A and B are shown apart, each in its own frame.
Chain A
Amino acid sequence: MNKLSALLITSLASISSFADWEVNMPRGVSPTANAAYDLHMLIFYITVVIGVIVFGVMFYSIFHHRKSKGAKPASFHESTTVEVIWTVIPFVILVGMAVPATKTLIMMEDTRDSEITLKVTGYQWMWKYDYVEDNVSFFSKLDNKSNEARQLGSKIDVNKVDNYLLNVDNEVVLPTDTKVRILLTASDVIHAWWVPEITGKKDAIPGYINELWVDIKKPGVYRGQCTELCGKDHGFMPIVVRAVPKQEYVKWVSLNQKNRVADKSE
């Protein structure tokens, strides 16, 4: 019992110290993520309006048409006019949603004219990144601190671990204001690559090469995770993308190319 109350107290304490009551999708830093956010909000507001109207009518009825208030049942039970109206209006609303959705989809699937290509390969349970043109290649997996803390019975306070479960040993570095084509595949089972602020997810499937494109507009560090169940450590293969201005990216590439050359000569 003491143990339980201690657990409760520490949990409640953590609510105040690490409160993060995020309730919505983050606004993106790339055209595709922003478009998804805008669509999300548009459809959300439409459903809210429909909900308010339908539930409003329903609650009006619940409060006014009750037997305890002496309501006598009416006898109507069909009306072709009404039924046609409430078939047609939703259809029109749907067309209104489908138009921007289709436009956005076409934009998202257009991977032409990219400047660099990043190949991402999913492994159980890490990612491999190949910069196709620049000849840089490395694996990226959960950083050691998170990995120690996440073991069953580790007794490490995960709230004190820097970016718990969302930190990696080797970050992906990408240039800003550059259309990057991302090719996705996997070596063992299906994984999915997702960094919400940069792009929606796409599956990395053995035997397939899927395509995504990103164009990050703001330098920064963006975090994501594998989002297709891929075995016991599915929850432990994060993605970290560091977006840097182009010059810095060029520097990073030359530095890492050298390292690779040095590795080979050993």
Chain B
Amino acid sequence: MSTNIDHIKEEHHHQPSGLMRWITTTNHKDIGSLYLWFSLLMFFIGGFMALIIRAELFQPGLQLVVPGFFNQMTTMHALIMIFGALMPAFVGLANWQLPMMIGAPDMALPRLNNWSFWILPFAFTMLLSTLFFESGGPAAGWTLYPPLSLQGGNSMPFVIFSLHLLGASSILGAINVIATILNMRAPGMTLMKMPIFVWTWLITAFLLIAAMPVLAGAITMLLTDRFYGTSFFTAAGGGDPVLFQHIFWFFGHPEVYILILPAFGIISTIIPAFSRKKLFGYDSMVYATASIALLSFIVWAHHMFTVGMPLAGEIFFMFTTMLIAVPTGVKVFNWVATMWRGSMTFETPMLFSLAFIILFTIGGFSGLMLAITPADFQYHDTYFVVAHFHYVLVPGAIFAVIAAVYYWIPKWTGKMYNETLGKVHFWMTTIFVNITFFPMHFVGLAGMPRRIPDYAVQFTDFNMIASIGAFGFGLSQLLFVYILFQTLRQPVTAADKSWEGAEGLEWTLPSPAPYHSFDTPPKVD
């Protein structure tokens, strides 16, 4: 213990302080914190855009913004939340946790790690700056479908370049994760003994490496169509607008699993800890995660059932999509079996995890409905879809990130958050998230298309409710920020093992964890 503390002092000696510390840092914890703070900032920027959308949709008729700006908001909200809030949040958690969980001193490639973070602020500055262009930001939806995206203003090359940067950052991060996990595990930690969060991240990293270059290819083709006279996607030049959708969703579907697999890992860590019982079916969890990852590459066209595919194609993609329900079901059943005959307590991380299981499963049910092609012809591009993917991404992915922060913050800072406030945050968030997104199922089924700034009057009531919920949800997250700062101001009191039922190497380290996690690898039996 004392050698560890001496070591911390020694390390701090060598490095610059102030801003330069953060710019030049190669430490996995510093970089993890940078990722997480950056993600929180983007979460609020993206959330602010969502509130502009919900404010306009509070009533029928246009009260606040013109349709063109509304489209910029929906496009930017998605890009910021996916690439700015969720992905960096999970990479931040990976940075903090992976070395501690596998008994390593740091990530395998520390300088690369620094670079993969510091690309992000530049990429997002460029992306956000397009909103101040005379022709405005991107307005063709985050999916950037041509020919509409080719009509865009001057923002287009900037958006594409920033997406290239984000892709590069993700690929570098993924390489680092794989190198760390495969090379730096403590002696005795075989692959099938790794913590489940490490497994889900290993699989996610492979998905990132496989999917991001495909996005890069698709948007580069858009760029050459617009500026260099090619016609990959323009029918008038012999190109094919649907080709873009195939390429995009070949990236896009693995991408949605990139956003959810690490969340599965978090939930699979927290549920056993607060049930005081080992995770049920560890092996099948690993296999289920791997099968979901593999299936993600053969289901992409379910995002585009309405483009007029051949019947055989529609049937193929319907079947493969339905198959995903099997491994996902296995995961949910395993979580419930883990709780079964456990000895549960309900601290904030556990509450968020339980809400995750229920609400993510509801999102999974609507996903199954969407997989049924003939029914999808009705659901497609309506608010039913909006409800579906927000259920899997907000009370799904975002709840997992929040749960992870509450769960590991005593280890990161040595300080315990205020449990009462944490619970208040949980209940407000959970109630408002449902008020926001549940009515969207109804208006979607009743026929309200997505991505419209104004709607027919019969959709008014549920839209009002959703808007009220959205503002409540946004305000509740200010409480989260307050809790974080209040926690940071506490004295260091957290025990090394902050939770009675917590398992894993990170809890053998002191709280706060030393600057270099494990100087000598622990022995795992």
| A interface residues, Cβ below 8 angstroms from B | 11, 14-15, 18-26, 32-33, 35-37, 39-40, 43-44, 47, 50-51, 54-55, 57-58, 61-62, 65-68, 71-79, 82-83, 86-87, 90-91, 94, 97-98, 101-102, 104-106, 108-109, 149-154, 156, 158-159, 163-166, 184, 188-190, 192, 194, 196, 199-203, 205-208, 210-211, 224-236
Contact = CB atoms under 8 A, between A and B. Distances in A.
A154 B62 CA distance: 8
Interface residues of B, number: 100
Contact of A67 (B64, B343, B358, B375): B343
Nearest to A84: B284
B71 A77 contact: no
Given A40-B369, A77-B282, A190-B148, A98 B322 contact: yes
A44 B341 contact: no
Contacts of B345: 66-68
A233 B311 CA distance: 32
Interface stretch (B186-194, B256-264, B388-396, B454-462): B454-462
Nearest to A210: B308
Nearest to A157: B61
Contacts of B464: 11, 15
Contacts of A152: 62-66
Interface of B: 58-68, 71, 139-141, 145, 147-148, 151, 234-236, 239-242, 275-284, 306-308, 311, 314-315, 318-319, 322-323, 325-326, 329-330, 332-333, 336-346, 354, 357-358, 361-362, 365, 368-369, 372-378, 380-382, 441-442, 445-447, 449, 451-462, 464
B342 A74 contact: yes
A77 B62 contact: no
Contacts, number: 304
A166 B276 contact: no
B458 A165 contact: no
Contact of B339 (A51, A65, A159): A65
Contact of A39 (B235, B275, B375, B455): B375
* Chain B interface SS verdict (over half): helix
B311 A164 contact: no
Contacts of B455: 165, 235
A235 to B, nearest CB: 3
B138 to A, nearest CB: 12
A97 B281 CA distance: 27
Nearest to A204: B308
Contact of A188 (B147, B239, B282, B344): B147
Contacts of A164: 60, 456-457
26 contacts: A18-B458, A20-B460, A22-B458, A23-B445, A25-B446, A54-B333, A55-B361, A58-B339, A65-B339, A66-B346, A67-B343, A68-B345, A73-B341, A74-B341, A76-B341, A83-B284, A90-B325, A105-B314, A105-B318, A151-B62, A194-B449, A224-B447, A228-B381, A232-B67, A232-B68, A234-B451
Nearest to B311: A109
A58 to B, nearest CB: 5
A54 B168 CA distance: 41
Contacts of A225: 447, 449, 452
A86 B332 CA distance: 10
A6 B474 CA distance: 24
Contacts of A201: 306, 377-378, 380-381
Given A57-B336, A235-B452, A39 B372 contact: yes
A65 B343 contact: yes
A188 B198 CA distance: 47
Given A20-B460, A73-B342, A231-B151, 14 more contacts: A18-B458, A21-B442, A50-B365, A55-B358, A58-B357, A61-B339, A71-B344, A76-B341, A152-B62, A163-B456, A201-B377, A207-B241, A211-B308, A227-B382
B322 A94 contact: yes
Q: Which are the 10 A-B pairs with shortest beta-carbon distances?
A: A200-B377, A207-B235, A235-B452, A210-B308, A47-B365, A77-B278, A74-B341, A20-B458, A22-B446, A232-B68
B148 A229 contact: yes
Contacts of B454: 150, 165, 235-236
Contacts of A234: 67, 71, 451-452
A203 B306 contact: yes
B301 to A, nearest CB: 13
Given A66-B343, A90-B329, A203 B452 contact: no
